[in-house]
Structure 1
Amino acid sequence: MTTIQQALQTAATKFSRTSHTASLDAEVLLSFVLKKPKTFLYTNPEKELTRSQRERFGRLVARRARRVPIAYLTNHKEFYGLDFFVDRRVLVPRPETELLVDVIIEQIANGKSQMANRELTIADVGTGSGALIITLAKLLPTICDSRFAIRYYGTDTSQPALAVARKNAAAHRVNVTLLRGSLLAPLKGKRVDILVANLPYLTPAQYQKNRDLRFEPRSALVAGRDGLEAYRHLFEHLERDGLDPRLIICEIDPSQSRPIIALARHHFPAAHRLIKKDLTGKNRVLIIKKNKAQTQ
């Protein structure tokens, strides 16, 4: 027979070759199999697993040892304190992406007095699992004036990804309009006040170097030779389709700070541009802010 402690030790040993969080990975998977919180594992180390539990845990351990993301094995990923369904149809939400939510909340809170008695439209292009726009739809009503109506949109080229986003929107009971299409194409003719984008930004070399990414959708990660192809297309769409958001917030790779600032300067020469660092001190978010005169 196998106890909880033995199962954890065996799994952690296997994961140590491929994961920097081997013990945590083992705990998450065994908690998932047992349908118990991690505290149960700590307080019941000598409890024996049933045969079905051992077999199921063994299958998950084998897949995790091949670098399949934990979130794909459990179909769950926490983002900004909320639980989201994920599978191989979508990119796994990253902790660093939570900074985009922080920036939007900060910008809206700081400008709330100017937004009263009007409607605000927020669009998330390349929405994937919907984690960003759904989180905003859950949180913003709690900080905005009741007279201040907000419309939420998410776009994606992938119908399978949108199916995941719709599942998450329903689970969180938020009113988010999810549309299929490239970048801003589904929103042509609509006013967009805040545009948020976590588009692909890796180079092929970065993707090949990181073996942990091979199970996630390549199209959601890689964007041309320099990793900026998706953002070039986005900025071109903004000009071509006449959409003029007064706030654009994009997640970037830290190595792209200078070229993406130059790209933003080219397309939005009169806008205020700045880079915000993540919790590790790396450049992570591009903020493009236009004044009222520019957006009228």
Structure 2
Amino acid sequence: MKIRDSMRWGESELIKKGIENARFDADLLLAEVLKKRRDRLYLEWDRNLSEQEEASYRKVIFRRAANEPLQYILKRQEFMGLEFYVDERVLIPRADSEILIEKWLEIVKSENEQGQGRLIKVADLCTGSGALAISIAHYCPSAEVVGTDLSSGALEVARQNAERLGVPVQWREGDFADPIKGEYWDYIITNPPYVSAEDYGQCAPEIFHEPSIAFLGGPDGLDFYRRLAEEARPLLTPQGKLLMEIGWDQAEAVCTMFRMKGFETQVFPDLAGRDRVILAR
């Protein structure tokens, strides 16, 4: 097939399987197979694919048609302007989570302007691919960052990302906050599993290719917030703060948990106007 015929075939196969953005995905996958930028496909519209290229393209199209996430096939995802390696061991970073980093950077900038500039200790719980921890270390060199995860496989991916992006992050394996106990932290950030068992069963089919441990937060999705509300106070410096990503309908419940433990809370929306991040101090 020529490039133009391959693009049309790939789009058609994905449409038949109900894949959204079928043309975009088909184009990206062909560009990946041919090791070209997407725009070059249109400039070389009439070039014939080799048998090997055609076989490789069919393989990745069938993977996408089976609802495997595009990011896992391409082995990459952009987050905060940085490119992260991702595979089936880690949750795919979402743009919604960038709100957490943006708010953290705003807070740190404000404190520096008030004359509080200093080395700060930051712990990222449930780090996964390391997207949050690495973004903080990249954009704030004065931060001493630790990322924790229960999954050794996830930490392997996080280490790989940190090395490739050239940022210093310390990685610790263990259950939630256990690896950072016995120390005092200026900030604890986390995008914990917060999907309820009922909601998980109704997720888009691509979700089931990602590690379920990164989604499931107990029967109501709030188990990890309960644990953090109980465990956080001895881990924070007197001015320490927590920044947590939440599900769109969880703000009231999570804020109540932390207020009952003596924290002040503030909620920030994502770009769609839905509650997305809670600051607790």
Structure 1-normalised TM-score? 0.90
Match of 2:4 in 1: 5
C-alpha deviation, 1:150, in angstroms? 2.1
Task: Letter of the 2:225 partner, please give it.
Answer: Y
For structure 2, the residue ranges without an aligned partner over 5 or more in a row are none
C-alpha deviation, 1:115, in angstroms? 5.5
Q: Deviations over 1:44-83 (max 9, x none)?
A: 2222111111111111111111110111111111111111
Superposed, which structure 2 residues align to 1:253-272 within 5 Å? 253-269=247-263, 271=264
1:115–1:21 CA distance, 2 compared to 1 (3 A): farther
In structure 2, distance between residues paired with 1:150 and 1:9: 48
* Secondary structure in 1 matching 2:78: strand
Question: Are 2:152 and 1:159 equivalent residues in the alignment?
Answer: yes
Task: Letter of the 2:36 partner, please give it.
Answer: K
Question: Are 2:82 and 1:82 equivalent residues in the alignment?
Answer: yes
Task: Letter of the 1:63 partner, please give it.
Answer: R
Match of 2:269 in 1: 277
In structure 1, distance between residues paired with 2:95 and 2:138: 18
1:115–1:172 CA distance, 2 compared to 1 (3 A): farther
Aligned length: 277
In structure 1, distance between residues paired with 2:201 and 2:139: 36
In structure 2, distance between residues paired with 1:48 and 1:83: 31
In structure 2, distance between residues paired with 1:117 and 1:111: 7
In structure 2, distance between residues paired with 1:175 and 1:32: 30
1:35–1:225 CA distance, 2 compared to 1 (3 A): same
Match of 2:119 in 1: 119
C-alpha deviation, 1:116, in angstroms? 4.3
C-alpha deviation, 1:176, in angstroms? 0.3
Task: Letter of the 2:12 partner, please give it.
Answer: T
In structure 2, distance between residues paired with 1:118 and 1:280: 34
Is contact 1:188–1:243 with CA below 8 Å preserved after alignment?
Answer: yes
Question: Are 2:199 and 1:206 equivalent residues in the alignment?
Answer: yes
Match of 2:53 in 1: 53
* Secondary structure in 1 matching 2:5: helix
In structure 2, distance between residues paired with 1:62 and 1:175: 38
Match of 2:167 in 1: 174
C-alpha deviation, 1:254, in angstroms? 0.3
Q: Deviations over 1:108-150 (max 9, x none)?
A: 1111134646320011000001011111111113xxxxxxx32
C-alpha deviation, 1:42, in angstroms? 2.2
C-alpha deviation, 1:170, in angstroms? 0.6
* Secondary structure in 2 matching 1:26: helix
Task: Letter of the 1:281 partner, please give it.
Answer: G
Identify the match of residue 229 of structure 1 among 223, 226, 243. Answer: 223
In structure 1, distance between residues paired with 2:28 and 2:228: 38
In structure 2, distance between residues paired with 1:187 and 1:226: 26
* Secondary structure in 2 matching 1:162: helix
In structure 2, distance between residues paired with 1:168 and 1:52: 30
Task: Letter of the 2:2 partner, please give it.
Answer: T
* Secondary structure in 2 matching 1:104: helix
Structure 1 runs of 4+ aligned residues shifted over 6 Å read none
Is contact 2:29–2:57 with CA below 8 Å preserved after alignment?
Answer: yes
Q: Deviations over 1:88-123 (max 9, x none)?
A: 010111111111110111111111134646320011
Question: Are 2:232 and 1:238 equivalent residues in the alignment?
Answer: yes
* Secondary structure in 2 matching 1:193: strand
Superposed, which structure 2 residues align to 1:122-137 within 5 Å? 122-137=122-137
Structure 2-normalised TM-score? 0.94
Task: Letter of the 1:108 partner, please give it.
Answer: V
For structure 1, the residue ranges without an aligned partner over 5 or more in a row are 142-148, 291-296
* Secondary structure in 2 matching 1:107: helix
Match of 1:219 in 2: 213
Percent identity reads 32
Task: Letter of the 2:259 partner, please give it.
Answer: R
In structure 2, distance between residues paired with 1:13 and 1:31: 17
Task: Letter of the 1:260 partner, please give it.
Answer: V
In structure 2, distance between residues paired with 1:235 and 1:79: 28
